[in-house]
Chain A
Amino acid sequence: MFKLNFKIALRNIWKNKTSSLINISGLAIGLAACLLLLLYVAYEYDYDTQTIDTGQTYKVMINGRDANGEVDGTADATPNAIAPLLKQNYPAVKAAARIEGQGKRLIANGAQTLKRTTYFADPDLLNIFDYHFIYGDKRTALTEPNSVIVTASTARMLFGTTDVLNRSVRYDDKTDLKITGVIKDLPGNTSVSFDFLLPWSLNEAYRSWIKRPDWGNLNYKTIIRMNPETDIKQFNRSVKGVIKQHASWSSNEMVLFPLSKLHLYDTFVKGESTGGRIDQLRLFMGLAIGILLIACINFMNMATAKSEKRAKEVGIKKTIGATRGSLIGQFLMESMVLTVLSTTLAIVLIELCIPFFNRLLDIQLGINYSNSSIWIGLMGVVLITGLISGSYPAFYLSSFNPIQILTKRNIKNGLFSVNLRQILVVGQFSFAVILIIATTVIYQQIQYIKNRPVGYEINQLVELPQEGLLYDKLDVLRERLAKSGAVLSLYQSSGTIATETSWFSGMEWPGSSEADKLQNFSQLATTYDFVKTTGVKLVAGRDFSRSFASDSAAVLLNRSAVKRMNLKDPVGQTVVAHGNKVTVVGVFEDFILGSPTLKGSPLVVAFMKGWGGKVTMRMNPSNSVTENIATIEKIVKEVNPAYPVELTFVDQLYAEKLKTQRVLGILSNLFGGLAIFISCLGLFGLASYSAEQRTKEIGVRKVLGASVSSLMQLLSFSFLKMVAFAIIISVPIANYVMNNWLQNFEFHTSISWLIVLLTAAGTLAIALLTVSFQAYKAANANPVDALKYE
């Protein structure tokens, strides 16, 4: 019986090639989209789960309080004193590690020089993360200051092999280190992502102040692993005041947050996690399920549309003894067969798309076929999809009364089935229309943010890490670049202008209160030529100047800072920053330093010679960019020969800030488009089926003198009605949902009715095209053929 049903299924698929193709490919695309999204969701969910005991691994977060004592910020920036203290005094803490990211640093095997990402870390990090050691011993790998752990790919790039234990490498062109461990490359979804790992003791050897416990400098991250039976709520209560005990002036409080959750729940309001990436992820999950549902609806529709053909088979089988159960089984199996075929195709599609997808989103997705949970998941999806898509046809078809079918009475598809099919099509298109509107609004919002004036000459700026001789020889560099004509001017600063890098509080100004000291200000430390190079707009005063010796104790403020301080005539006033009295010499217009979706926040640009990190240059626009870059690279290399020249365009850094929005934009465009495509595929199938079914009617009408256009109207109208209905339902929903979404942004566009109108018209047009293609074919067929056909 199973064999026979299986045969019937295959023969049916083969016999109705067009509709099978539509079914299988539609379902395959839907499944591929769904699985890809779910892979992505799983990837994000697995963030930072590469630990030994994921449930007990926490990151130390610091809650800062504002002037009113309210928690106004939560971040994973901690003092260096917390980890040792917790480890020593709290038995519930099994391991505690400080880490400090160093960005990309030089690592060299003789002449083979690389610049790779590195961290300093306490040895306990190896008792928190579950690194896979290919060579070396994790118990001793980070204990000596002159040791280093490298990843397999770093080892291969430096030595051409991973078997490099005890070999020597030179770090940052100044220290020779012994390789004490080679570990498997880290996956993409870890927040502590490095190519080589340095011992904390080396950090202390370089900078002696790091040895001293410092409760004010929040420059480090702290990750801890707790003993399994710890009550974390109680533990959090007991450590809440620890910072205050050691630094009575501080209003900061520490709290542990699960490391594996931080990636997704990274938005904190008043110290409580309120969401974050998880919201976007939920959206994608909805999208995944929605797309799959659309594909399933296609499948159901096609199957029920075909029911008249299949009815005869059902009738006969029932007459000669089939039970309802066996028929349901048969139709479910048929949909399983199709689902399995579709899934196979879907996996091929995914494999083809993954490299593209990874590049697009800058992630490392992949199907791990040796992972049994992938197979279980896949089987689950096949089973569920097969059941969903097959259930309606199965129950509907098997309910036919045999004699009614065989005598062709009363089976004009029953009132119920027509209605359900219509409901399904309407539902499908409603979803598609919502997706299109959502997609366009998201796109518009991204454009809106992108087009927001940045406030400085973003396109002419390139930056470079300030390393090696670039501190002492900055003036040499400035002169040589200016002479070459490639660069108009340059400045050094503590961080890039493309994003916020540092904050401080404790600022005092004329009229400020004690509570105002808790106000956070963004800061950028620099020397000369900041305004000249960046092109930010001065509204009062002047840039730092070499002609004023007093400028060594001067600051520039942005408009928001002036507003926050409530200064009437800011230029010339004295304020206190970092405990020093400094003079305000200029005020400039707010530019976008933080997130482009937020309004400006107060920024202090301070003159500080010793705090560099970046050199930012303004290129000469009268030369081509490639010329400028070539000249800059050549000169920088000459001035600072030990380091590779790493120029970054500031506009690219700025674009990085829009990455989450970009991902959202790409995914919603891609999958929104797919949803519409699959819906139309279904409509196409349904229309062709309905045309085929009405061949005889069309023939008769034609013989009686109906015109092609009137026949096309006849055939298309019922479909267009459904699509129109879908539009009417979905527009208000989309409008509501997207308006809510836009409220998430301080800077946001509004939904334009033109877009909604265009979307509606576009959907109708696509549907019309799809349906009328079939209608035209049917209406133009020779009527005699049509009549013979029966």
Chain B
Amino acid sequence: MVDRDTWLEIFHTVLSNPLRTGLTGLSIALGIFILVVMQGLGAGLETGVKQTFGDDAANLMQVETGNAQLAFRGRKPNRRIQLHNADEQAMQAQMDSVPAWSRLVYRWGSTVRNGNQQGSYGVRGVDPDQREIGQVNLTAGRFVNERDVDQRRKVAVIGGQVLTDLFPKGMTPEQAVGTLIQVRGIQFAVVGTFNQTGSRWENRSVYVPFSTAQKLFSNSDVVSRVAIGTGAASIDETRETTASLTGWLKDRLVVHPDDAEGVWVDNRNEQAEMYRQIFGGIRLFVWFVGMMTLLAGAMGVANIMAIVVRERTKEIGVRKALGATSGSIVAQIVQEAVFLMLISGCIGLLAGTWLLQGIAPFVDHDFFSDPRVDFRSALLALGVLIIVGVISAIGPAVRAVSIRPVEALRDE
């Protein structure tokens, strides 16, 4: 029944007291605006933090070693702890099955050369599972495979930045595959290229087989790090594994149980869970603040509608005398309230979106990038507006329905 007369009446209500309507509309628009902007900023923070912490999967654990701080079983404090191949094999043997497993050995600042071009990059000796664990996004060729590791092949998978820096302009990843490069003075065949979106470090890396790297570049049987994919294990399961693995490692490497720095298992699941909770909290807070502002706006609308009903008591009486039913009166008031809410809400929504879009290109910080309004929250906000509009209209509508035509029509 929304035809021209209905619109006419809505406009009349809205325009009959522009100041009052404007102020109320403003508070609703502001509520939605705050909601949208804070939501967008929260999303920006989330994207930024996620990017900074790399593209590694969240479902992984890493075993790392450092300097033991405490004396233990006759060993002096402040001694270097290292994980050797034998330790790594024993560790793997005592674990239950694991979805993915990769040894790593690092060489920072390695010179990589292609023809006359050269630069300094990070070289990582890895096992094939690293592709899954690090979520390596191949753009051409293949990743390090089992045979590469078994045969200590001199093959390399190069990052996007290495490709751009060392290869002629316009060279595609496919063209780079099959070429030969020098890594720390030794010739390697490029078998693949990769590109990690948003991550600066990763794209300046070169992956080579673990065995090759250990033999050629580290000259020892030390494993810098072991990355273990945890697959679909629950957070509690990974906590348990982390605890038991730490205990086992400390025993094997002779590190005091209370020593925090000799050897540790970094459980990324835990971090991911923490971020999930932090961002969940931020989102909840944003919605809470937005809802409170909206609630204030809704009370404004309820107030406007109450005044409208009071001012138009006589008119409502006339309408009833002319055949208006309670239903049509309620519908009219609800439509007016929802209209007011929606128009103001859309203004807030547009202003918020516009602001976020305006600032997005200028903010690109490690912990903050690409703030945006997601469509779902926008729809949700509009849905909330409609519901709140209806609720705010209930009181005034009930009042209007209870108006008796005789009372309203009495000539004073």
Partners in one complex: no
Which residues of B are at the interface with A, using a C-beta cutoff of 8 A?
Answer: none
